[in-house]
Structure 1
Amino acid sequence: MAGIVDAVGRDVADVKVGDEVFGQPDGGPYTGNAAAEFALSHIYHPKPANVSWEVAGSLWTVGETAVRAMHLAGAKAGETMVVAGGGGSVGAVLVQLAVAKGLRVIATANAADLERLRGYGATSVEYGDGWVERVRENAPNGVDIAVDTAGAALLPGCVELTGGTERVVNLADLDGEKYGVSFAMGTPEARVLEALPQLAELTGAGKLDLPIWRTYALEEAAQAHADLGGRRNRGKIVLMP
């Protein structure tokens, strides 16, 4: 969510009424608690003035997931990371975070997204049969980390590329256990709260792009969900009061 502070609790001292913030509504990112004119939040950060409301409201869920993947992988500058599903919102943010940290990134995506990912500084290869071989051709020194953001039975290839499960992060495949890679749940205990200032800094500096597909009024929420469920969007869907 993103919005303007309308009221603060008695012990809140880091924001005041009228401040612009973004973050997560209380109750979790998937509860719909921000699909309203007012929302409660205790996980927030100042919104950079030059970042749109649409982008700010979309940042937390995909951005925190990408930052958490970097932490889980122990990503370090100079390493090679494969992002399976780089064309999606989480994958695109992860690509940009990894490039900003100094990693060499190889992202898989469909043909329509390859050029955009190259613009982010990644090497991009097309999905489909032979994707593992295409990645290998572009990683002569091997692959250190693989992150599955797509959930399209790509984990076996990720394990093959890294030579084991230790540095494979599964963000999307609920059946990952059969490949030896558990699903990286975004539980309250696992959240990386320092993602907020990091996302604010990068978006404010123009170093993090998050495409917005369409904005809907609150009364159009049913259509927004229909478009999302029908996979019509290429970018984030946003509800605005």
Structure 2
Amino acid sequence: MNGSKDPTLHQRILSEIEGRIVSGEWPPGFRIPFEVDLAAQYDCSRMTVNKVLTQLAKAGLIERRKKSGSFVTQPQSQSAVLEIHDIKAEVQSLNLPYAYSVIKNASRKTKADDKLDLPVGGLVKEVVCVHFAGTRPFCLEERLINLGSVPEAIDADFGAIAPGPWLLKQVPWSKAEHKIYAFAAGAEEAAALDIPRSAACLVIERRTWSSAGPVTHVRLTYPGDRHALVARFSPAS
């Protein structure tokens, strides 16, 4: 058997297990083969396997449970509540590949129930897209963009860059409002996020303004069992 000091074998085992996790072949909750089985599979010592699993646990990819084994972790998003965060960076911080798919991208007239405080009949761009972490849906984004404040959006197809970072490059915002609440997934949310209907979701609604007026309203819906919001703050002076 190979010794535990073989860096090439260590890296091979690490890369192969990490690849199975990141690709989604081993989804969250999947139990990793036991150390003795991995040692037999790779013809190496249990010490080598133990070091690999310890490294994966430190990276947050697996959770080691005493007497039960090692399991692929559930992703936990950590978003500063009062910041305009980048979903791509959020996914990549979890050591998962990021992708997104545009479901809807169309201009239309404003409606009475739109949340941009615009007169009915004005023009907005409606964009809906799903962000992915690995092969799993991570977040459903439903966004309205005020074409009066951001006329460039009328021709944007968002094929190369998602609406959020695109807007940050186009318009300097001066004020933002967040609303955070729990929500039971309806048929559309369940289908987009590949979760059961009525599953608990975490929703962040955000509105931003610039000197030209309202910029955007976005509703971000996350599967509630895999996400948390974390904010750091200091006492008021």
Q: TM-score range by the shorter chain?
A: under 0.3
Hey, which of these two has a bigger chunk of helix by percent? 1
TM-score scaled by length of structure 1:
0.21
Bigger Rg over Cα: 2
Hey, which of these two has a bigger chunk of strand by percent? 2
TM-score scaled by length of structure 2:
0.21
